[in-house]
Each structure stands twice: as C-alpha cells, then as structure tokens.
C-alpha cells in the first residue's frame, strides 16, 4: 500500500486487493469504494490487483477503505514492515509506557511492543506513511535515545507473492488434470467402442467419482469466489464457471433416474481447462508486470556510511538525509545524493536507458540505485525512502498501471452488466431448448456434417443442458477486463526501463488525437547553454588574437555569454592575460586594459557609442543575425578587430526529430521569448511549422489556450520545471529533463534523458501501447459476439467452449506482451 497527497483536501492511496479473478470482481470492488463517504475517485485494476483511491481524509481513512473492499467480498492488504529499535534510557515500566505511547501515536505505526529487559521496541509500520527517521524522532521527543541501528525485517515482496500465486495456480492445474486425464481416456474409449465399460452403472458412477475431487479440491476457490460474489450481490467470471460445472455434475446422479446424458465428466474437464487458463493467465500477467519487479530489485539493500569517522554498513532503511556514504567501484549508490569527495563514471542506465556512463565530480548529483563504475566516491544523502528518484519512479509506474484509458470506459459499462446478462441468456437458452426443441434442432442437424461433437439425436433435456452449460462457460468478461491494463502495464514498464515515465494512462490515447506539438525553445530544442559558434577577424589580426583579447577581458565579467567565451578559449588552449581598469557597461559590454592596450568588448550599439567603425565586418554580422546568433565585437585601441558569434546551439538530433514528427502527421510549433525575426530563423533551420515568438514565461499558458482553440488538441514539450503551468494546460504535457532535477508531477509523460530522441521514443511507445489496447478490446468484443450465439444454437461442446474462453484471456494478455518486441528508439 502506498499513500501520497494530491492537494490540500484529498489524499491518494493505493491498496493491494486479494481475491479478484475477473472484470466482474473489479466492478464490485470499484463500486464499493466509490460508495464510501469521502471517496472522490476509485480505480481498480485486475492485472495489477491494485486499487487507487483519492479521498478526503476528513471523511474517510485507510481503515474505512479496507472495510469497503471487505464489504464487497474481497480482502485489501496493507503493506507492513517490521523493525526492532534499540532504546536507551529506560529504567521502569513507566518508561516502557512512555516509549510505547510515543511510537503508537506516530502516523503509520500499526503495532508496538517494548521490552524493558532487552531494551528493545518491536514495531509493525506502514513504510508509505512513516520511516525510521520519524520513529527515531518520536523516541527522542519522548526523552529517550535510539541506540545503534534499526534491525529491519522486510515484508514479503510483490515478486514473492506473484511467484506464490503462479505456483499455487500450477499446483491446482496439475491436480485437476491428474483426475481429468483418466476421465477423458475413459470417455474416449466409450465413444470409440460405443459401449459403456465395464457397464453403464460403473461408468456413470466413475465419472462422478473422478469429477468431484476436481471440483471440491483444486476447483474449490472458484466456488468460494462465486458464492462470495453472489452473497455480496455482484457477479463475476467464477459465477459462470460454478454454474456451468454444477449443472454438469448434477446430471451425473440424475442420469441414474432420468433419461438424460451424464455430463459429470465434462464438469471435470471444464474446471481443468478453466484452471489451466487461469494458470497461463497468472503467469502472463506476471510477465506483464516485470517492470515493477525490475525496478524494485534495482534498489540497494544496505549502505556503507561514515559514523564517527569509521565506515559502518547499515540497512538502507536506516540511511538519513545528511549521512555521508562511501561507494566503491562496482557498487550501487544506495540513495539520491551529492558527491562530496572523489570522481567517477556512473552508470545511469536504470534511470535514463542510456548505457554510456556519466562523469561525476564533487558537487554533482547522483541517483540512488545507479552503479559506480570507477573511482571511490563519498556521497552525501539528500533524499531517502519514498522521496528518492527510484521510489517516485516506481510509484509513477504503479499509478499509471492503475489508471484508466478513456477507451476502457465503454468496456467497463459492458462488463458491469456482462455476467448477469450471460446468466439470463443461459437460462433463456435452457428454456427455449425445452419449449422449442424441434425448431432449434434444425441448426444442429445442418451443422453435424462438419462438427463431429454435434449430436442432434439426443433428448431435448440433454440438448438444453448442453447449450445452457456452453453459454455459461463460453462467455469471457476476463478478456474485456484485461484488454487495457495488460497493454498499459507492458507499455509503461518498457517506458520506465528506457527513461520514459508515463504518469497518466489517458495521455497515450490523447496523443493519437493531438494536432500540434509545441516545443519550448531554450533547453528543449537548444542545449540551454550559450557557446561560441563563429570567430571572425579584421585585416591585420588573427582569430587567435581576437579570442585571446576577448576572453581575457571577459574573465572579469559574470555575464553568461562571458563565461561561454572564456570556456571556448580555455578549451582551445589559449593563454589569457591579466586585466586592469576593468569596467562594465550595463547591457552593452565591458572595457579594460590588457597588455598596455585599451580593449572594448560588447554589442554593435556599444561600438557605435564609441564611434567605432565596424563596416568591414558587416557581411559577417548580417549572417550572425540571420542565423539568430548574438554578435560580440572586440575593439583594440579604437579599432574594431573582430567579432564572435554566441548562440544557444540547437541539439544535434533536433532536425531529425522534427522531420520524424512531420512524417507521423503532427504539426510542430516553437514557443520562445525571442523576437519574431530570430525565432523564425531558428524555426526555418529546424523545419518547424509554427512560431510563437515574444512570449514571456507567464504568457505561455494563455498562448497554449489560444492554440488549443485554433487547432484542437495540443501537446507541449518543455523542461518540466519552468514550463510546469503550460505543460499542465496542454492536453498532453511532456517534460524533458535529466536525473533528479526533473519535475515528475508537472507532466503526463516525463523523459529522464535530456535528448530530443526520447520525445520520439515516448510518442512511439504511447501510440504502440494504444494500438495494442484497441486490438485487445476488439478481440475481446469480437470473441464474445461470435462465440455466445454459437453456444446458444447448440453448436459448441461445453469443453470446447471452456477451451475457447480460456484461450481468449490468454490471447489478450499475450498480445500485450508482444509490445516488448518493439524497438521504441527506432
């Protein structure tokens, strides 16, 4: 269970639901939660077995939500960690009471037991609501001391629970088939020979004896689930299977007294195929949720921190902000932090998807769970627990997997009435076959020539039961329920592995309807750092002299353009001279003495102010202006000797990305504070269709609104921090940033890598995921629309119907897993 605050009035909580098997279960849990007072929104996903709930904490709490789930007939499991704290300063029973009270009053603590003799406190707490640091503060505030490190006992992981479910499903399947295979061989022998072996009585009795263990042992949870649903006034897939197998097994005893065929053996076969489908489905769902497992496995389990000048290894849960961690080559960085000593290359592929290591030195930030490849470094922890980048990443993936795509709403409406409708159809089918047997028998008579299992010669009651059971077991609400979430799980998981964090499932559908993609210029289309792109010199001076004099004078300036000029000189090994009499001319340039020469560096306006002639450089200056570059002129002893062009360079991949978006059918636009002429020059170089120039930061939201009114749906790509309001206003906000600096909450899609190529990857992945969702929903509807009428007509054997139903769910889940084969960076 995880909990976050969404605004001042509501909180968001994610509960793990146990006992759900199909879309009907999802509807029942969702309905119960939505009817709870204070709940603003409830979204339940079968594939993740999670419920995401937004609620008003003044009207509801975690316990009320868990009770709502239980009222629907299911269980909600709250994640809990166990920890043992060593307490110092306790002397009597009163001390024990004080410590217990302080800890019990801490949010998230579920159980506290303090032992005076051992001087220890054993706690059970929700890690989503509190952490070791908060527990330590509670102990210290009560007047006692936390000695040593906490002994944390980790709860069973989601992957362990998933493995246990798969093993349980496999065991039930194997046991079911152990009884069903002999049943099938016996039935086959009777079909081939045309005689009941060894006699009719023993054959009928044997079918019942072999079928009952299948229903009452491996199949018992199916009956429990069905009963649970019915008693809570809901219906799920298990209700259909339970009714179908019950009707089949009941014909066994009835066949001794009535002139009907025994379907007892078929009951075992239906349950065996049902359990086989559930096993394959459980396994496939596990593969679909691999992304979360991989992310959880990335985190370090312990950290080596400095305590009193000595290294000490402690559980990761005990690391606190401000701790200095020591990381050797090959080790994981335990948590987000800042390098305080040493240099190294860090493998950040878990966050960015890029395999190239990133150089880090003192002052640089590092991400927890990334790998230190080279040198020994010391890192000061800046974020721990749920605040780390990895934790936010996991939470984001979990949230999107629990969110709903708009196209799913129709499927949800169908699912809500699906099982009751099927039960009604099955009953009507049974009655129709009893009342109008000869009329309905026309279809089986025609079909028996190419469908060997169709036997219109059997009695009307047997035909009625045959069709009744087939209708019940052919219907598949599971396929409808799994269609969207499985594709969303695989797509969001692939994105997380490649530095693409999808925050809202609705964004992947909206993207296909977007008309225009707006790019913020600075830091998105450009590198965000000015650099020298051109150096020109007048007659009698070399380029080396121009950069030497210019950079030497600019060393005394703090202007961003001055820093770019100095960096260029240093990169080219230019020796810089000492400056005297330095003066700054605000907004225009600088002046000073250099090697006994009067040097003036600045804009064309500054040169004109000093009556200096720059005509000999006019051609180059005009070119700089046309290319949207800033010209910095240099004069020595009253003569203009050269000029530098400084610009925020375009990212290398910008042109290719814009071109690719055009091929995908999108219009592109650029929003910038630059003047119209400069902006149009940049847009022309990139091939951008529309220019939104001279837009101040606070005007971006209004500009996006205006564009939405003009063209329809708009996506915006920005840095995720400065552009947060505009990203929120856009129909799809795409934040592009690097490392821990990105603002995850500001956009629908967050791109961890800072390159524009990830924008293409994110859009491609979103569109591919939505295509899979549509394919899955189409298959689920098509299957039911075709299969159910065939069953009503008596053309489907109940066993074949069950095989088809199980295959339908497995097909939907497997189809989603095909996304993994996609190269999203192509």
Q: How far is CA 338 from CA 304, 352, 383, 387, in A?
A: 15, 18, 10, 15
**Cα–Cα distance, 733 to 749 (Å, whole number):** 6
Residue in the block written with tokens 């979990």: 398
Distances (CA, A) of 251 to 246, 262, 440, 721, 787: 9, 5, 22, 68, 24
Strand pairing partners for 341? 378
What is the spatial distance between Cα 520 and Cα 153, in angstroms, rounded to a whole number? 47
Query: Which stretches within 19-110 are classed as H helix?
Result: 23-34, 62-71, 93-104
472 with 433: CB under 8 angstroms?
no
Clarify whether 520 is annotated catalytic. yes
Among candidates 386, 396, 349, which has minimal Cα distance to 369?
Answer: 349
Helices (H), 627-723: 654-663, 676-686, 700-711
3-state secondary structure of 86: strand
Contact status, residue 736 vs residue 756, Cβ threshold 8 Å: yes
Cβ atoms 637, 610 nearer than 8 A: no
Burial 753-771 (b: 16+ CB within 10 A, else e): bbbbbbbbbbbbbbbbbbe
- Residue 712: CB atoms within 10 A of its CB come to 12
What is residue 378's three-state secondary structure?
Answer: strand
CA 792, CA 430: separation in Å to the nearest integer? 9
Q: Which of helix, strand or coil describes residue 109? A: strand
Is the separation of the CB atoms in 433 and 470 below 8 Å?
A: no
- DSSP H or E segment with residue 671: strand 667-671
Tokens (6 digits) for 432: 């129709």
Contacts of 83 (CB under 8 A, 6+ apart): 122, 123, 125, 132, 135, 150, 151, 152, 153, 317
From 363, 370, 358, 368, select the one nearest 389 (Cα to Cα).
368
User: How many Å apart are CA 752 and CA 256, to the nearest integer?
Assistant: 70
Is the bond into 808 cis (omega within 30 degrees of 0)? no
Q: In what order do the strands lie in the sheet with 371-372?
A: 358-360, 344-347, 371-372
Considering 323, 520, 723, 755, which one is annotated as catalytic?
520
Six token digits for residue 298 = 């990335």
Which position has the token pair 């066949």?
255
Residue 688: burial class (beta carbons within 10 Å; 0-12, 13-18, 19+):
buried
Catalytic residues: 520
């Amino acid at each position: 269970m995880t909990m976050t605050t969404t605004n001042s009035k509501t909180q968001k909580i994610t509960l793990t639901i146990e006992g759900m098997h199909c879309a009907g279960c999802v509807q029942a849990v969702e309905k119960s939660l939505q009817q709870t007072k204070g709940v603003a929104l409830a979204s339940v996903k079968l594939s993740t077995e999670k419920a995401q709930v937004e609620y008003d904490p003044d009207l509801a709490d975690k316990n009320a939500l868990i009770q709502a789930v239980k009222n629907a007939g299911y269980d909600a499991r709250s994640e809990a960690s166990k920890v043992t704290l060593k307490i110092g300063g306790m002397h009597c029973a009163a001390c024990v009471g004080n410590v217990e009270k302080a800890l019990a009053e801490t949010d998230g603590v579920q159980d506290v037991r303090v032992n005076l003799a051992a001087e220890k406190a054993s706690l059970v707490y929700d890690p989503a609501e509190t952490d070791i640091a908060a527990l330590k503060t509670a102990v210290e505030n009560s007047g006692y001391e936390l000695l040593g490190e906490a002994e944390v006992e980790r709860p069973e992981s989601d992957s362990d629970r998933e493995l246990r479910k798969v093993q349980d499903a496999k065991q039930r399947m194997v046991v079911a088939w152990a009884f069903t295979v002999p049943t099938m061989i016996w039935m086959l022998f009777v079909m081939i020979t045309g005689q009941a072996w060894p006699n009719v009585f023993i054959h009928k009795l044997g079918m019942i004896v072999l079928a009952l263990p299948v229903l009452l042992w491996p199949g018992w949870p199916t009956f429990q689930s069905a009963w649970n649903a019915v008693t809570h006034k809901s219906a799920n897939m298990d209700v259909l299977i339970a009714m179908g197998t019950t009707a089949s097994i009941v014909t066994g005893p009835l066949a001794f007294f009535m002139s009907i065929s025994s379907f007892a053996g078929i009951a075992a076969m239906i349950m065996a195929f049902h359990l086989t489908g559930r096993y394959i489905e459980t396994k496939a769902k596990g593969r679909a949720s691999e992304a979360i497992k991989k992310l959880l496995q990335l985190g370090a389990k312990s950290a080596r921190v400095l305590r009193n000048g000595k290294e000490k290894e402690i559980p990761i849960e005990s690391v606190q902000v401000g701790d200095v961690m020591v990381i050797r080559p090959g080790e994981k960085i335990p948590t987000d932090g800042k390098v305080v000593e040493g240099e190294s290359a860090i493998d950040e592929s878990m966050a960015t998807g890029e395999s190239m290591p990133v150089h880090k030195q003192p002052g640089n930030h590092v991400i927890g769970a990334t790998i230190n490849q080279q040198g020994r470094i010391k890192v000061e922890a800046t974020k721990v627990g749920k605040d780390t980048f990895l934790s936010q990443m996991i939470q984001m993936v979990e949230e999107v997997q629990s969110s709903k795509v708009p196209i799913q709403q129709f499927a949800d409406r169908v699912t809500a009435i699906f099982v009751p409708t099927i039960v009604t159809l099955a009953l009507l089918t049974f009655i129709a076959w009893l009342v109008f047997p000869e009329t309905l028998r026309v279809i089986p008579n025609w079909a028996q020539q190419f469908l060997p299992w169709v036997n219109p010669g059997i009695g009307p009651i047997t035909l009625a039961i045959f069709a009744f059971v087939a209708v019940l077991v052919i219907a598949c609400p599971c396929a409808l329920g799994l269609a969207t979430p499985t594709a969303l799980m695989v797509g969001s998981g692939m994105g997380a592995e490649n530095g693409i964090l999808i925050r809202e499932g609705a964004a992947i559908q909206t993207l296909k309807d977007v008309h225009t993609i707006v790019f913020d210029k600075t830091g998105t289309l450009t590198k965000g750092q000015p650099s020298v792109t051109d150096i020109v010199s007048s007659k009698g001076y070399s380029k080396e002299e121009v950069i030497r004099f210019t950079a030497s004078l600019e060393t005394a300036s703090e202007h961003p353009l001055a820093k770019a000029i100095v960096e260029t000189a240093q990169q080219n090994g230019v020796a810089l001279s000492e400056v005297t009499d330095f003066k700054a001319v605000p907004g225009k340039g600088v002046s000073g003495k250099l090697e006994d020469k009067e040097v003036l560096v600045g804009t064309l306006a500054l040169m004109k102010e000093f009556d200096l002639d720059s005509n000999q450089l006019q051609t180059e200056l005009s070119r700089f202006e046309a290319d949207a570059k800033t010209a910095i002129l240099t004069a020595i002893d009253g003569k203009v000797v050269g000029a530098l062009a400084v610009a925020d360079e375009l990212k290398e991949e910008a042109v290719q990305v814009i071109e690719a978006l055009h091929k995908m059918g999108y219009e592109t636009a650029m929003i910038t504070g630059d003047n119209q002429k400069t902006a149009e020059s940049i847009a022309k170089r990139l091939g951008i269709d529309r220019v939104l120039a001279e837009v101040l930061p606070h005007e971006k939201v209004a500009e996006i609104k205006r564009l939405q009114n003009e063209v329809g749906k708009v996506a915006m790509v920005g840095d995720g921090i400065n552009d947060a309001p505009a990203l929120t206003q856009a129909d799809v906000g795409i934040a592009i940033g690097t490392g821990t600096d990105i603002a995850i909450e500001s956009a629908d899609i967050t791109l961890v890598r800072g390159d524009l190529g990830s924008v293409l990857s994110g859009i491609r992945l979103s569109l591919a995921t939505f295509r899979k969702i549509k394919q899955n929903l189409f298959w689920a509807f098509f299957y039911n629309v075709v299969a159910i009428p065939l069953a009503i007509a008596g053309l489907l054997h109940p066993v074949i119907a069950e095989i088809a139903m199980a295959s339908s769910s497995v097909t939907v889940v497997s189809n989603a897993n095909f996304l993994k084969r996609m190269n999203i960076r192509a």
